Structure 1
Amino acid sequence: MMHHKHYLDKKSAPYISDLLTKHFLKNPNFTEIVIICIGTNRYNGDSLGPLVGSRLSERLDGHPFVHIYGTLAKPVHALNMHKTLASITSKHSRAYVIAVDACLGQFYKIGTLQLVEEPLQPGVSLNKQLPPIGHIHIKGIINNHGQLNHKVLEHTSLTFVQEMSAVISRILVKSSQDIIPKLAQEQQPIDQLSDHLSSGR
């Protein structure tokens, strides 16, 4: 299922964050959140994911229940994606995984944020064959889909992409704040068992 709002709509952040939290609650057996922000810092248009990742790192870095992959300093892209996903699978086997990426679309949809309740298929606009990512994903339509997609990504307004990344970051921070107490409840019995064993009782 897909939900969408324009990023300039003041209701977009609360609307999409609420839907994201409700999606998590359909299967609340996860113990942590992993947010994978796909893209590169080489093209303005493709920097949406890394911009979101960098903003989230400033807000959520070091949180025991939330792990961010893909920032401007350490982007996740086609060349390192398989290695990154293998590492995430190994380290975070019970994580609720949210993917973030930029995409191209029809002209009248530029600026739309899409919440899609299925794994992300990265690289589709550029005809790349990459593995699906996440339990759910957010896409931002940053420009018009056409024959010269690489050029379109290169010449997209950076200011526009930064503004959109700020809205997506607010969505993910709010959803994380709503989901974390549920993760803590799921984690608590495990922690109590560990305490029980370590005390020898």
Structure 2
Amino acid sequence: MEFINIEDKNSFEKFYNAFRLYFKSLYTRSYREIILLCIGTDRSTGDSLGPLTGYKLKPLLRNKAHVFGTLEEPLHAKNIMKVLEEINSSFYMPFIIAIDASLGSLKHIGHISVGKGPIKPGAGVSKDLPPVGDMFVTGIVNISGFMEYMVLQNTRLHTVMKMADIIAAGIFRTIMEVSKENKVRAYE
């Protein structure tokens, strides 16, 4: 797992490089389509990272990936099971990238983490949801351990927006590159 500090002057390049490395090592030819699960709600500043990222990516990735979770149609605890059922019945061998806000240690607030495998959405606020994703991107928006709902409500929007900008730009650049490479490979 990689951690990228959003206040680092090279945070975009560091995120892009980490995301691209994980994506290219995990996204093999056996997967058919790319699914982005942008988890969270627009009703809580700290939990809006997913919907903000989805809002930015959906129009950009129109023919390249399927985006679930935007400001208009958030993907959250109340509807995630239905969306997962829809994905399982509509897509064969999808590659799923889970994007979500998280709470963490004081030293990791303001960091984006990228890694292999699923995340457990809602774990920070004691929700019991299934693990999702072949890889994940999380933004550590605030500290965990005490009154998580209040902590999420009192998270700075600036932090969340900066994370969403970096994540959306890095994912967009990676998927466009891979899409271009796959077209080239198809003609070889």
TM-score (norm 2): 0.90
Measured against aligned partners, the alpha-carbon deviations of 1:120-178 in whole angstroms (never above 9, x if no partner) come to 11111111110111100000000111320000111111122111111111111111112
C-alpha distance in 1 between matches for 2:9 and 2:179: 24
- Secondary structure of 1:139's counterpart equals strand
Do the aligned partners of 1:119 and 1:135 also contact (CA within 8 Å) in 2? yes
C-alpha distance in 2 between matches for 1:185 and 1:81: 36
Q: Which residue of 2 aligns with 1:94?
A: 93
Q: Which runs of 5+ in 1 are unaligned?
A: 190-201
C-alpha distance in 2 between matches for 1:128 and 1:76: 14
Question: Residues 149 and 165 of structure 1: is their aligned pair in 2 closer, same or farther, counting only changes over 3 Å?
Answer: same
Do the aligned partners of 1:56 and 1:173 also contact (CA within 8 Å) in 2? yes
C-alpha distance in 1 between matches for 2:103 and 2:45: 13
Q: Which residue of 1 aligns with 2:9?
A: 10
C-alpha distance in 2 between matches for 1:15 and 1:161: 18
Larger Rg belongs to? 1
Q: Which residue of 2 aligns with 1:193?
A: none
C-alpha distance in 2 between matches for 1:71 and 1:50: 4
Number of aligned positions between the proteins: 185
Q: Confirm or deny that 1:168 pairs with 2:176.
A: no
C-alpha distance in 1 between matches for 2:3 and 2:19: 12
Q: Please tell me the root mean square deviation across aligned C-alpha atoms, in Å.
A: 1.8
Q: Which residue of 1 aligns with 2:153?
A: 154
Q: Confirm or deny that 1:38 pairs with 2:42.
A: no
Matched letter for residue 73 of structure 2: K
Measured against aligned partners, the alpha-carbon deviations of 1:14-69 in whole angstroms (never above 9, x if no partner) come to 33333333333335122221111000111000001100000112322x21x31100
TM-score (norm 1): 0.84
